[in-house]
A and B are shown apart, each in its own frame.
Chain A
Amino acid sequence: MESSSGVRKWIEADESAKELLSRVLIQLFLPPPLHNFPFRLGNVVEIVGPSPSAKTHILMQAAIRCILPKEWKGVHHGGLDHAVMFIDLDCRFDILHFSRLLEHQITIAEGLKFSEEIDRDSLGGYVKNLTSMCLRRFFYVRCYESLQFLATLKTMHTKIQEQKENHGVGIHMLIIDSIGAFYWTDRALSSLTLGDTNRKGLSLQAVSDTVVEELRKLLQLHPMVILTTKTVNLQGRCLKHEIKSVPRNMSSRDATFFRATRSKPENNPYREYMPSVWQNFVTHRVLIRPSDDENQRPPIFSSEWLLPLLNRTDRFTFGDNVILTVP
């Protein structure tokens, strides 16, 4: 009977547990210094640090890991085989440097030297073909102001769907460099008043609310990992000379509190300036800063996970354009 086949269909499984886990539990293992945690789709990772530190380079390495295939023509590359979308708010991305890093990453693959299929002559062809295949999985846009950024976010859903249909490779990583780029211009917009008080004015709060809202909706439709950077000014060392000078008209109780907060840079290594709606959206946060010895070549950086809090600091440096951990 029809109803019994309908009931049977309802009881029958849609997918096995294995299929469910492989669909939901996609974990992304990123290169150092982001190697401490496997990231799941829906995580929002914020890389915080003063300028200049290696933040954009870290993003490039993560993107390269993502766009490389796991294996190509018999050679193992260890990539994640996904597409990446890169929203550049800092507008300083250099594609020539990126493609050089990608080529370098391809040529250091272990199996390349021993592969019999690829002899010396066609090594160049192999690298070229793989590079162009990977670069086609990398999507890039620049935004010069908040309105452009909002317009990009609002039209991303159609773009991602179009991409999926044309290329078949899913997008699992969204990179935003850097989220605080329009902080000053948006802050100044707050003072523009509009006649109708019910009308949402363009302000830092409104922009941040909309950005977080759009990203949340995007994550529901297309689960992915969001990597962003944020440039901050480090406190502590820089403010040592300010500890002594307390504002004259502060009461003595406030003055002791003032001195106490200033002299403990470990609690607050930097001043947070993004609105709390963004801060609460972030699920992982790592602080990158240059090591104290500024004259060391190549420069050494330290990474410290603030969220979730790991009480240890890793050090890393650049060796041959690749990020290596330093003991």
Chain B
Amino acid sequence: MAPLKSLEPDYPIIDSNFQQFCASHHIFSVEDFLLHDIYALELSTKQHFDSKRLEEGISVVRTIMEGLHQPWLNGMELLQKAQGNKHGISTGYERIDVLLEGGLFQGNLVELVGPSSSGKTQLCLKVAANVAVNNLGSVTFFDTGNSFSPKRIDKLLDQSSEPAKIKTEEVRRRVMDKIVCQSVFDIYVLFDLLHQLKSTLKPVTGSSVQMLIVDSISSLVTPILGSGAHGHALMVSLGFLLKELAYEHNLSVLVTNHMVGAEGGHLKPALGESWKNVPDMRLHVSRDCKSNICSMSILRHPYITAGKAVMFSLK
């Protein structure tokens, strides 16, 4: 909540006189303006001797407010923006790509839900390897459970469709350079890192893809989700921050979540009802015990009906 004083250098009309006028109405920052009746404020300027200047100040604040929200776009502009992202990012598993009609898309927040050792981390690593090896772009991997291992990525690169591409050490190093991994054990650290990412992201040039993977987000959120509204508030704001990164900065964001017991002996996704609405896409993964055959079904998708499922092999 920056005070009005800080706006003075950029907008000289917000001088000490204007600030005093606002202070008399208990307005000290732009956010306070958002909670106030601006029309009533404009009327009250008439009682002052320099009402014209105060009115000008208020209209300058109005233009500042226009900069506080995303710009309005019409349907055609939205469509053109979305059609730029039409090609999906292949997950590395053909059957999943078919199920999702192309794979993962930029601008979306996708959640992978499944019980432990159902193949979620394997899937994340495979997608990361795929993006790196096919020169699609860079991957930022936030690892909360020490499940990321360069050796596993190396093995996946060996199994990739064109091993000839990565014969030389140098090429392999370049591919591995594209994946940046960071261990995160605390939700506040994650918030910091995401804000840093937001401020350092440059507009994406050409068809370069940027992928963000958080494995797993539930292990960061569950400890703070106890009683009280704060836990839920943190979880929901984390969700919105991820969505903002995905949509406004054109990332493809993938997060994983575990499952908890529900009534009737079933399992349901963790993080509760308030998180249910946050991801654009929710995919359920489960594995037949002792085999490498997994099944993925759609829990939520913008247009594909929920329940569609597909089996795939982890190998």
Query: Which of the listed residues A150, A191, A295 has the most CB atoms from chain B within 10 Å of its own CB?
Result: A150
Instruction: Say yes or no: is B240 at the interface (Cβ < 8 Å to chain A).
Output: yes
Instruction: Say yes or no: is B291 at the interface (Cβ < 8 Å to chain A).
Output: no
Which stretch in B47-55, B137-145, B214-222, B298-306 binds the other chain?
Answer: B298-306
A135–B236 CB distance below 8 A: no
**Contact with B74, one of A136, A178, A181 (Cβ below 8 angstroms):** A136
Known contacts being A92-B302, A151-B66, A231-B277, is A188 close to B74, with CB within 8 Å?
no
Q: Mark A165-199, 1 if CB is under 8 A from B, else 0.
A: 00000000000001001101101110100001011
User: In the complex, A149→B34 CA distance in Å?
Assistant: 10
| Number of residues on chain A facing chain B (CB within 8 A) | 63
- Min CB distance B19 to A, Å, is 14
- Min CB distance A183 to B, Å, is 8
* CB under 8 Å from chain B, chain A span 277-315: 295, 297-299
Nearest to A203 among chain B residues (CB) is B35
Instruction: Say yes or no: is B5 at the interface (Cβ < 8 Å to chain A).
Output: no
**Contact with B35, one of A52, A142, A155, A206 (Cβ below 8 angstroms):** A206
Known contacts being A145-B240, A233-B273, is A99 close to B79, with CB within 8 Å?
yes
Residues from chain A with a CB closer than 8 A to the CB of B38 are: 154
B35–A202 CB distance below 8 A: yes
* CB under 8 Å from chain A, chain B span 52-104: 62, 65-66, 68-76, 78-79, 81-83, 86
Instruction: Say yes or no: is B37 at the interface (Cβ < 8 Å to chain A).
Output: yes
Residues from chain B with a CB closer than 8 A to the CB of A295 are: 307
B66–A91 CB distance below 8 A: no
User: In the complex, A96→B39 CA distance in Å?
Assistant: 39
| Number of residues on chain B facing chain A (CB within 8 A) | 54
User: In the complex, A51→B158 CA distance in Å?
Assistant: 42
- Min CB distance A90 to B, Å, is 6
Residues from chain A with a CB closer than 8 A to the CB of B86 are: 96
A150–B26 CB distance below 8 A: no
User: In the complex, A149→B35 CA distance in Å?
Assistant: 11
User: In the complex, A189→B300 CA distance in Å?
Assistant: 30
Which stretch in B117-125, B149-157, B168-176, B225-233 binds the other chain?
Answer: B225-233
Instruction: Say yes or no: is A268 at the interface (Cβ < 8 Å to chain B).
Output: no
**Contact with B75, one of A97, A135, A191 (Cβ below 8 angstroms):** A135
- Min CB distance B33 to A, Å, is 8
Query: Which of the listed residues A147, A196, A210, A298 has the most CB atoms from chain B within 10 Å of its own CB?
Result: A147
A140–B73 CB distance below 8 A: yes
19 A-B pairs with C-beta separation under 8 A: A90-B277, A94-B303, A95-B81, A97-B302, A139-B73, A140-B75, A141-B72, A143-B69, A147-B34, A147-B68, A151-B65, A154-B38, A154-B62, A155-B65, A184-B236, A187-B229, A199-B27, A200-B26, A210-B35
